[in-house]
């Protein structure tokens, strides 16, 4: 059999370049996590709380984590960390201890703001939790079981989860992550690869591994602003559980909607204003009282105390149809 010789440039038959070895991938991952820690860890604090003493009972103590979000000493943590506290102490990353005062708390979203008087505080950079996608790298920093400045890393497992707070209310737009959290991590920051804080670590499911949750930072920013201004969050309610959801582009364009996302209704409370208005599960709220609704955090901002008892127009997308309905928010009990 004749031998066929191949001619032409050798690189035409060269072996394709190999993917980078695992060591390089792990080095890149380590550098990303390390860079986040270097920029965020200095703003993370340990919180120690002495609870109010009930009659004939010893003083209870607890604690958690928090982070500095303004250079003049305002810190975000969880409401359940500082709830009913007789005194609050904060330990900074440099080891110095300072007393803290409670500015306000909102059990419905499990967000609280405290303040300390200390020089040279470094504030975190707050991100945009609406830009998060499953699979993104996230880093949690906190003080589980009192071990200060503990770092864990993982990914965003899911967004737009609903979680019941310790006060019994449902918190919308919660981030699910597999970055390991333990008691003491509560109130600490969840940061993305840009070292921007995208969530406030809040809960785990004790019977499961890798099911951890954080309050979306967009919700926390809004609540913190209200607490700094008023010390309390007064709100109206319409009786829905909702999550952010995308709209089909063709529907958004056909109805001339201002955004391609809205608040997807996943539950309607019996006897609520939402039920009386005709709102259904599966509806997507796109406008409320004349304002565009891009997601749950936008809807929360619109449900203010001033709207209690006032009839307003609400636009929803149901299937491919846009429906306008009337609804009267009620005071939050």
Indicate where the chain has its CATH 2.30.42.10 domain(s). 236-331
d(CA 116, CA 129): 26
pLDDT in tens, 42-66: 999 999 999 877 666 666 788 999 9
Q: Pick from 107, 109, 329, 108: which is nearest to 239 by CA?
A: 329
Q: Which of 157, 186, 236, 277 is catalytic?
A: 186
Q: What is the dihedral of CA 269, 270, 276, 280, to 10 degrees?
A: 60
CATH topology of domain 236-331: Pdz3 Domain (2.30.42)
Indicate where the chain has its CATH 2.40.10.10 domain(s). 40-116, 125-224
CATH topology of domain 40-116: Thrombin, subunit H (2.40.10)
Q: Which of 110, 173, 283, 297 is catalytic?
A: 110
- pLDDT at res. 13: 46
- Length of the chain in terms of residues written: 333
CATH code of the region 125-224: 2.40.10.10
- pLDDT at res. 12: 47
d(CA 65, CA 2): 78
Pairing of β 321-327 and β 312-318: antiparallel
pLDDT in tens, 126-141: 999 999 999 999 999 9
Task: Give the model's confidence band at 300: pLDDT under 50 very low, under 70 low, under 90 confident, else very high.
Answer: confident
Active site residue 186: yes
Active site residue 11: no
Q: Which of 48, 80, 106, 108 is catalytic?
A: 80
Active site residue 80: yes
86 or 10: whose pLDDT is higher? 86
Cβ atoms 86, 51 nearer than 8 A = yes
Helix or strand holding residue 35 (H, E): helix 22-40
> 40 CB contacts (<8 Å, ≥6 apart)?
67, 124, 139, 141, 189, 191, 195, 197
Lowest mean pLDDT among 150-164, 195-209, 224-238, 255-269: 195-209
How much is the mean pLDDT over the chain? 89
Cβ atoms 88, 112 nearer than 8 A = no
């Amino acid at each position: 059999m004749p031998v066929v010789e191949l001619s032409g440039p050798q690189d035409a038959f060269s072996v394709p370049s190999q993917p980078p070895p695992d060591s390089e991938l792990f080095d890149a991952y380590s550098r990303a996590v390390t860079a986040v820690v270097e920029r965020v860890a200095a703003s993370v604090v340990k919180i120690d709380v002495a609870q109010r003493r009930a009659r004939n009972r010893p003083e209870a103590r607890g604690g958690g984590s928090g982070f500095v979000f303004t250079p003049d000493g305002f810190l975000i943590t969880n409401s359940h960390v500082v709830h009913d506290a007789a005194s609050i102490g904060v330990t900074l990353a440099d080891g110095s201890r300072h007393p803290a005062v409670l500015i306000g708390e909102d059990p419905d979203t499990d967000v609280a703001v405290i303040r300390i008087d200390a020089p040279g505080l470094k504030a975190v950079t707050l991100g945009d939790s609406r830009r998060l996608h499953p699979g993104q790298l996230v880093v949690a920093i906190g003080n589980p079981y009192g071990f200060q400045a503990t770092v864990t890393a993982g990914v965003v497992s899911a967004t737009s989860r609903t979680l019941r707070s310790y006060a019994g209310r449902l918190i919308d737009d919660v981030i699910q992550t597999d970055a390991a959290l333990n008691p003491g991590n509560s109130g600490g920051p969840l940061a993305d690869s840009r070292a921007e804080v995208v969530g406030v670590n809040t809960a785990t499911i004790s019977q499961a591994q890798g099911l951890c949750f954080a309050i979306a930072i967009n919700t926390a920013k809004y609540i913190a602003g209200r607490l700094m201004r008023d010390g309390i969050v007064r709100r109206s309610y319409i009786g829905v559980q909702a999550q952010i959801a995308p709209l089909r582009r063709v529907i958004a364009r056909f109805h001339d909607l201002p955004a391609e996302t809205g608040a997807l209704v996943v539950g309607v409370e019996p006897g609520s204003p939402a039920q009386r208005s005709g709102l259904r599960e599966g509806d997507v709220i796109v406008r409320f009282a004349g304002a565009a609704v891009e997601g749950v955090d936008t809807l929360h901002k619109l449900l203010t105390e001033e709207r209690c008892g006032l009839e307003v127009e609400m636009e929803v997308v149901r299937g491919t149809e846009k429906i306008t309905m009337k609804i009267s928010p009620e005071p939050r009990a």
